[in-house]
Amino acid sequence: MSEPLAWINGLLQPFSQTGLPVWDLGVVAGAAVTEMARTYHHRPFRLDQHIDRLTNSLSALGFPQRWSSEELATAAREIIRNNAALISKNQDLGIVLFSTAGSNPTYLAGLADQLTTVIHTFVLPFQLWRSGLQHGVRLRIPNVRQIPEDCFPVEHKVRNRLHWWLADQQAARLEPGSKALLLDHAGFITETSTSCFFLVHDGKISTPDRGTLKSLSSEVVEELAAVLQIPFFRRQISVDELSSADEAFLSSTPVGLLPVSHINGRPFEISQPTSVFSRLAAKWETLTGLNPAQQILDAET
C-alpha cells in the first residue's frame, strides 16, 4: 500500500480517510490529550515514555481510557513499520497519539458515544526549521499569557492551544518571522508554543519550573547536561535575566535543539563551537545515533 496508515479506535485505515466526527469533544471543545514522538533512522525514540506521559495525563485529567499503554505501543510500532517503509532513508517520522473526551451529548440528543483514540504519523518537515538552525530563532514576549494552573495543569499536553496561536500571531505582528515566548500571570517566563526555553548564565543552564509542559525533550537536555557536567536548574526565570544571559536555546521532540538569536530585539550569540548549545547538540547525536541538525540542513527544499 502506497498511502500511510493510521490507527483509530483499534482499526487500521488509510491516513486520508482518518478523521473525527463533528460531535467529538476533541472538535467541539478541544478536549483532547495528545502526545508526539519521532523516529531516528526510522526507529522510534523513547516511544514508551511518550505513551506513558499520554496515559498519565489522561488519568490525571479524568479522561476515559479504553487502551492500555502496551496496546498503544503495539499499535504505534505497527504504524511506524508500515509508514517508515514509504519514505526515504534520509527522512524520519513524527508520531502523533491523541485521545478525546468522547462525544458531545448535545449533538447526539443525549446519547453517549465512545471516545476517539488515534495514532498517525507524518514526514518531519525538516526544511521548515533550517532558517532557525542557521540563523537562530527570534522570540517576542506578547501580551497573551500562559493558561494559569487553576484552569488545568499545563504540564499536560492538550489540544486546547488557542492562546498559543493568538500569541504567535501577535509576536509575528510585532516582528515578522518571530515566535512567542509566553509569561505566566506572575510575569515569569514559561515556554514557546512548540518548545521548551533555556537560558545560559556563566555556563549554567536554567529552564522554567512552572507553567510549562512536562517535557521529555527538556529531560533529555537535563540528562545530557549531567553527562557534560554542566550545572542545570529548574527555577523561576524573570524577564530581567534576559539582559545578562550568555545564550538562549529551545528544545522540542521533532527538532532537538534550536539556538535563539533574539528576544525582544536583544541579540544572542549563536554558532559558537564551545557554547553550551553546541556541546549539547553534539551529545544529542551520541544519544540518538543521528545528528538532527545535519538532517535539517541536508533536507530537500
pLDDT in tens, 40-53: 999 999 999 999 99
In the sheet where 117-123 sits, what is the strand order? 11-14, 5-8, 117-123, 93-100, 32-40, 43-44
Counting Cβ atoms within 10 Å, is residue 117 exposed (0-12), middle (13-18) or buried (19+)?
Answer: buried
**Strand bridging mode 256-263 / 247-252:** antiparallel
Low pLDDT (below 70) residues in the chain? 1, 112-113, 301
End-to-end CA distance of the chain: 26
Q: What is the pTM of this model?
A: 0.95
Write down the pLDDT at residue 219: 97
Cβ–Cβ under 8 Å, residues 139 and 198: no
Q: How far apart are CA 288 and CA 101, in angstroms?
A: 34
Bridge partners of 93, per DSSP, are 123
Query: Look-up: residue for cell 522554567?
Result: 208
Three-state DSSP state, 105: helix
Cβ–Cβ under 8 Å, residues 163 and 144: yes
Write down the pLDDT at residue 301: 67
Residue 141 amino acid letter: I
Residue 129 is given by DSSP the state G
Write down the pLDDT at residue 1: 57
Q: How far apart are CA 162 and CA 146, in angstroms?
A: 11
Residue 216 amino acid letter: L
Domains of the chain with CATH codes: 5-124 (3.30.470.10), 129-298 (3.20.10.10)
Write down the pLDDT at residue 130: 95
Write down the pLDDT at residue 272: 87
